[in-house]
A and B are shown apart, each in its own frame.
Chain A
């Protein structure tokens, strides 16, 4: 009985450690999409929230997640999102650890490290990306369970899983990569077996591949059909990625770069240690996608988080290597670590999060937006075209619908029929590659942390071409002098 409680402790630790304030800058527009569906029963397809690219047909691949987020937020507020997010993270660890068959010793070392390194990606809010990593864990779990039990119904679960996933987040592509790799390897093994006459041909042996095809087809059961794939591929290879934090290369963040380099060394050691003891074909369906995600992650940091999770067997191999031979020592160290980690997050970390006090005022204070400045804009009804800070977009959409932001987190990859988008224009102005004074904007609502455009506007104020209509520590409203 004590063993069972101890085995649950790493998950309890993950749950408590993941209880954090929802700080996602996109939260506002996700809530607005969810609210729209909840009130009208229809999926919002046109852009009605921002002033630029009005009526743009947006393929909101996380539409179902937005509805769910709205329901939870509406009933339980920020605290509800915090708890839900922590549950999802704990379940993600559970499925990956189960698929990898991690021991208690391995879990107590690996869980805190993964959580620490990937906290920026998974610890900031209840987001659709989180569920994507969870579903990736479920995919690995189902494949591992099927390999052990050989019951076909386990694989059939993949079909509804991918159907739900495709309506939650575009990250289902990662799952299809893993499942597709597994199907291809399984197919290859069977062909080899038939060729060497160890197995006779029968259609029934290809059921897993048929399930794979059905799973891929299930992803088309969504409100946007095949257009969903177009939206996903629009994200890939766009030159605008380097301006969105999640898509930025790892080397732009010193912490992530260090973590990446150290983990890469450990990963190589882990792969070597793992395959030294196991068959060369074992978990190959995890190893191949993991290496792909790991390499892509160097250019796009958002792939690092799933890569960390999917690499669990190899982290396990490294921690097993340093495991003492004496079982009593192993138990003492592991129990000590898990309880110290638990006490640390319970007594020190969680109270600092103030999850029950969290509201839009604290959200704003932490993220660096200012309610007074928005209230100023509403009260004074300034005339002219407005350029708003990218980071203010989601927050404005939910809290101040009277102010239509010029840009928000939905828009980096939007392009109109002529191939133009608003994000490249915004980036040019924000970085002062294009002069704001020569733009069509008459009002600029920006954070002083955007130094390039901010300094240029200060210069224009000194030249008496623009005025500062409002300012506080978090936001400035500049107005063109006419």
Chain B
């Protein structure tokens, strides 16, 4: 016999399971939105340093033909409209500028792939 206690219990189980199922999806959605908002509020195409830069350099260095003997400048793309010479790039991509090798590498962390590699001739503002 179906009692009101059983119905309440079943309802509670469904709610708990639904929360456990949906919570990670909301969490993933929140992280994606936060990343988008961070890009919107960041300085336009600014150079980044620290842990993120080191991680990106390390990931890109795994590919063939990437200069291993210099540390590139890492730029986070926030406004691709001014960066057309680098090909079809999107906000969130990283551009790694290898000054000595005159090479720019576009890296997408989401697909974990190098999107483009173009020869460039940019003077390093930090160079002495």
Contact = CB atoms under 8 A, between A and B. Distances in A.
**Looking at chain A, what size class is its interface with the partner chain?**
20 to 34
A4 to B, nearest CB: 5
Q: Is the interface of A mostly helix, strand, loop or mixed?
A: helix
Q: Is the interface of B mostly helix, strand, loop or mixed?
A: helix
A353 B16 CA distance: 25
A12 B13 contact: no
A351 B115 contact: no
Contacts of A342: 20
Given A371-B88, A372-B88, A473-B116, A354 B32 contact: yes
A362 B110 contact: yes
Contact of B90 (A1, A356, A361): A361
Contacts of B44: none
Nearest to A355: B28
A258 interface: no
B24 interface: yes
B20 A12 contact: yes
Interface in A334-367: 342, 345-347, 350-351, 353-357, 361-362, 365-366
A472 interface: yes
B25 A366 contact: no
A356 B28 contact: yes
A5 B32 contact: no
A12 B32 CA distance: 22
A9 B20 contact: yes
Given A357-B110, A365-B115, A472-B87, A346 B13 contact: no
Contacts of B12: 1
Interface in B89-122: 90, 108, 110-111, 113-117
Interface of A: 1, 4-5, 8-9, 12, 15-16, 19, 83, 342, 345-347, 350-351, 353-357, 361-362, 365-366, 368, 370-372, 472-473
8 contacts: A83-B25, A346-B23, A347-B24, A350-B25, A353-B28, A354-B28, A362-B111, A368-B113
